[in-house]
Amino acid sequence: MENCIFCRIIEKTAPSEIIYEDEEFLVIRDIHPLTPLHLLVIPRRHFTSLNELDESDPAYVGRLIFTARRIASEQVGPKGGYRLVINTGETAGQSVFHLHLHILSGRPLISSLITRGLR
């Protein structure tokens, strides 16, 4: 989709540090990391947010989560903790309107549901 930074990253017309890619997902390093490890799992298909995913293919969501789990485990090690976050909608802190899942790790995270304000 034109004017979508994540679509441009997927098309490789915009730069990014790619950690992993397959036919469905791209994993990149966040440009403004909130934690020492801050990755984004981005579907190649443009969905504006989680709300645009239809329920006819629940396995797709499973593959998204399992991809995040696999990459997090590889990066963090089997004993390290990590947090997965999907901000959905502007009032929830979503700023890029192409579905993505944050992987946050590398320092103790406070017991909070929000990711902003952790700096």
Active-site residues, by number, are 100
The span from the CA of 19 to the CA of 17, in Å, is: 6
The span from the CA of 103 to the CA of 63, in Å, is: 15
C-alpha to C-alpha distances, 49 to 80, 95, 106, nearest whole angstrom: 28, 10, 26
41 binds, among Zn ion, ligand 5GP, none (CB under 5 to 8 A by kind): none
CB of 42 to ligand 5GP, least distance (A): 9
Which one among 1, 5, 18, 114 touches ligand 5GP, defined by CB under 6 A?
5
48 binds ligand 5GP per the rule CB under 6 A:
no
Give, as ranges, the residues between 80 and 99 that touch ligand 5GP (CB under 6 A): 87, 93-96
16 binds ligand 5GP per the rule CB under 6 A:
yes
32 binds, among Zn ion, ligand 5GP, none (CB under 5 to 8 A by kind): ligand 5GP
- Contact at 8 Å (CB) between 20 and 1? no
Q: Which long-range contacts (CB under 8 A, 24 or more apart) does 71-74 make?
A: 71/19, 71/20, 71/27, 71/39, 71/41, 71/103, 72/39, 72/103, 72/105
7 binds, among ligand 5GP, Zn ion, none (CB under 5 to 8 A by kind): Zn ion
Residues at the site binding ligand 5GP, with contacts judged by CB under 6 A: 5, 16, 28-32, 40, 87, 93-96
